[in-house]
Structure 1
Amino acid sequence: MTNGLMPWVASHAHLVPEPLVRAGFLAAADVAWLLRVGSVRQLERNLAHVLAWRDAQCTGGEADVDVISRRRLRAMSRRGMRSYFTYFSEALTVKGRTREQLTARIRGTGDGLASLKAQTGHGSAPVAMGHQGNWDYDGFWARLEVAPVTTVAERLADERTLRMFVDIRESLGINILLTGTPHLTERLEEALGRPHTVVPLLADRDLGRNGEFVDAFGSTIRVARGPATLAYDTGLPLYVANTYRERLHGERRKRAGSAHGYVCRISGPLDIDRFRGLEREAGIHAITQAWVDTWARGIADAPQDWHMLQPLFLADLDLSRLHAVPEEVRRRWEQEHA
């Protein structure tokens, strides 16, 4: 399907009814969930950490993934798979949507939104975010409501699929750079050096050998260093975005042509100045921990929209494949596997 049907649908979105595409992807999501394929099992392991941490925040106790019932976890993972597959149906059909439909499907909110708009009105800002909701819609909204968008997309092995996703995002007005691009960080810093620019980065996982280990959800996760590196090196304020699905009603639902849309919640800015006195590596780590703290609270508010189907938590990682693992992290991993 990836090598054939998906690119065809994306190229002919105006010919294919969106409800039909959505129904097909939801059926596929339900089949994968019922079969409990490997990605679903990994999603459930990740969600167990989030649910346990959220419960602990309410009770004042310790996060314990073992107390999360299988029934509760299965119900949440089904919602998660349907949310994840809905994203794909929306991405593939985005070229068949009018500007009015897209603007009705995504709105911004949050205590950092006014500050972000003010910052990008005269300058630029990096934004840390995760694979949550519909990040393509986020980019479209940000370009219209905040500032022109430059971001990074993963370089996929399948060239046809890669071009499909790049084309989808560029059709929304998003400037795309690919992982593996020479001097990528310098190019992002160059973009941030121009006024009226926002650089959102999907940073809740790092698929390479490098990454930053931080505390989250009562455990340890490994995320990308990009947002913190840009904030530390440029001195620009760092914002955090979380995105959730929401049910639409009335006139907005009619304009959207969909029963659901998204809200992009902007938090921040983080106080980068308090980390300026630290050495670079310590500063990047501290900034990463700070944005993850904010982002994790947003994930806990709507875990069903977090599309994390890959190993992320320390217990699921193969440390032999990773670079420069801190000794305290290695000891923690050994304790969890004892």
Structure 2
Amino acid sequence: MGAAQDRLVDGLYGLGWAGVKKLPEPAAVALGHRIADFAWRRRGKGVLRLESNLARVVPDAGPERLRELSQAGMRSYMRYWMESFRLPAMDPARFGTDVSIEDDHILKEAVASGRGVIAALPHLANWDLAGAWVTGHLGIPFTTVAERLKPESLYDRFVAYRESLGMEVLPHSGGAAFGTLARRLRAGGLICLVADRDLSASGVEVEFFGATARMPAGPALLAQQTGAALLPVTLYYGDTPRLHGRIHPEVEVPAAGTRTEKTAAMTQAMADAFAQGIADHPQDWHMLQRLWLDDLEERSA
């Protein structure tokens, strides 16, 4: 990406954060739908990949149903962005009325225990709004990790945005974040990680909708090393409240096995919880990239 394109990308995101939050909410929703439908009709790589991914999630869906799902998926994806641009200006009192999380007592009790808690989420609905609910409504601070984006100014915008919502944000680079996350957990803190895609060599292979994918080992390793509770969380969109979710039961550390075996079993259990939430609400899974290993092998062939 050249310097001119870097400035353009950063400028567009800056315009979104500066402009969209000033729009009346119905106007922002309508704008999001128009942008999503325009992108969906163009049938670009992201839309086609989303459709391909949804075909695995809903294997009995025909072409027409897949197109309906992908259009709904693009609208959900753009809804995430419209809401995210508006979140810093949202009245914090709305976090309690706009978000409804099933079995939230599991999270509250785990945090109160002082063990440390790892909340692991897939790319479902709006994880930033869920984070704002945790900090703004429950009053629980947490730490998360952000991928380093280019240009650097765009990464800085994302960090500032999430910090404005009460999150501590660490850069995902060089493995340095792992040690800081472990320290936060040993101090009884909460960390939240989006954890349904890992294409690195350290990713753990899991069975996911009948094929092999890789997911990050970090959540399972952190739970083993610190004694923290690993809680999968899945989300989906509604109208009133606007965001729903579920705190799944803790993924326990197996009593026997090597560290590698325990990590594999825990990551598979996490993936199974993610699959349940995604299967129930496929239109809210914002996975516009390759995920399954055989898709990656096709690209490299």
| Same structural fold, with TM-score higher than 0.5 when normalized by the shorter chain | yes
**Contact 1:232 1:276 (C-alpha < 8 Å) held by counterparts:** no
> For residue 158 of structure 1, what is the aligned residue in structure 2?
151
The letter of the residue matching 1:108 is I
User: How many equivalent pairs are there?
Assistant: 292
Select the residue among 108, 112, 119 that pairs with 2:110: 119
Question: Does the aligned pair in 2 maintain the 1:240–1:268 contact within 8 Å?
Answer: yes
1:48 pairs with 49, 55, 59, which one?
Answer: 55
Q: Which residue of 2 aligns with 1:7?
A: 14
Structure 2: stretches of 5+ with no match in the other structure: 1-7
Quote the residue 2:193 is aligned against: 201
RMSD (CA atoms): 2.1
Aligned residue number for residue 46 of structure 2:
39
Contact 1:7 1:160 in 2 (8 A): no
- Equivalent residue, structure 2, for 1:334: none
Residue 74 of structure 1 and its aligned partner are, at CA, apart by 0.5
CA distance in structure 1 between the partners assigned to 2:13 and 2:57 by the alignment: 32
Q: Separation in 1 of the partners of 2:149 and 2:75?
A: 23
- The residue number in structure 1 matching 2:277 is 298
Structure 1 position 20 matched with structure 2 position 1: no
What letter is aligned with 1:173?
G
Distance 1:310 1:235 in 2: 33
**1:332 aligned residue:** none
Q: The residue matched to 1:295 in structure 2 has which SS?
A: helix
Task: Find 1:270's aligned residue among 239, 245, 251.
Answer: 251
Partner of 2:3: none
For the residues of structure 1 that align with 2:249 and 2:12, how far apart are their CA atoms? 41
Could you say which residue in structure 1 is the equivalent of 2:242?
261
2:61 alignment counterpart: 68
Asked whether the equivalents of residues 242 and 295 of structure 1 are also in contact (C-alpha less than 8 Å), the reply is: yes
1:10, 1:164 within 8 Å by CA — same for their partners in 2? no
Give the secondary-structure state (helix, strand or coil) at the position aligned to 1:132. coil
Task: Return the TM-score normalized by structure 1.
Answer: 0.81
Q: Determine the C-alpha separation between the residues in 2 that align with 1:79 and 1:116.
A: 30
Equivalent-residue separation in structure 2 for 1:198 and 1:319 (angstroms): 38
The one of 78, 90, 93 equivalent to 1:97 is: 90
Structure 1 gap ranges (5+):
53-66, 249-259, 322-336
Q: How does 1:139-218 map onto structure 2 within 5 Å?
A: 139-143=131-135, 144-145=137-138, 147-180=140-173, 183-195=176-188, 197-218=189-210
Give the aligned partner of residue 280 of structure 1: 259
TM-score, length-scaled by structure 2: 0.90
Q: Distance in 1 between matches of 2:174 and 2:184?
A: 14
Q: Which ranges of 4 or more aligned residues in structure 1 deviate by more than 6 Å?
A: none
Query: Which residue of structure 2 aligns with residue 231 of structure 1?
Result: 223
| Amino acid paired to 1:128 | A
CA contact under 8 A between 1:13 and 1:94: conserved in structure 2? no
Query: In the superposition, relative to structure 1, how do residues 146 and 266 fare at CA in structure 2: closer, same or farther (>3 Å)?
Result: farther
User: What SS does the corresponding residue of 2:287 show, helix, strand or coil?
Assistant: coil
Asked if the contact 2:21–2:85 (Cα under 8 Å) also holds between the matched residues in 1, the reply is: no
Q: Quote the Cα distance in structure 2 between the aligned partners of 1:184 and 1:71.
A: 44
Q: 2:102 aligns with which of 103, 106, 109?
A: 109
Quote how far apart the aligned CAs of 1:147 are.
2.6
Whole-Å separation in 1 of the counterparts to 2:174 and 2:142 = 18
In 2: Cα distance, 1:135 partner to 1:15 partner: 22
- State the alpha-carbon separation in 2 of the partners of residues 12 and 41 from structure 1: 29
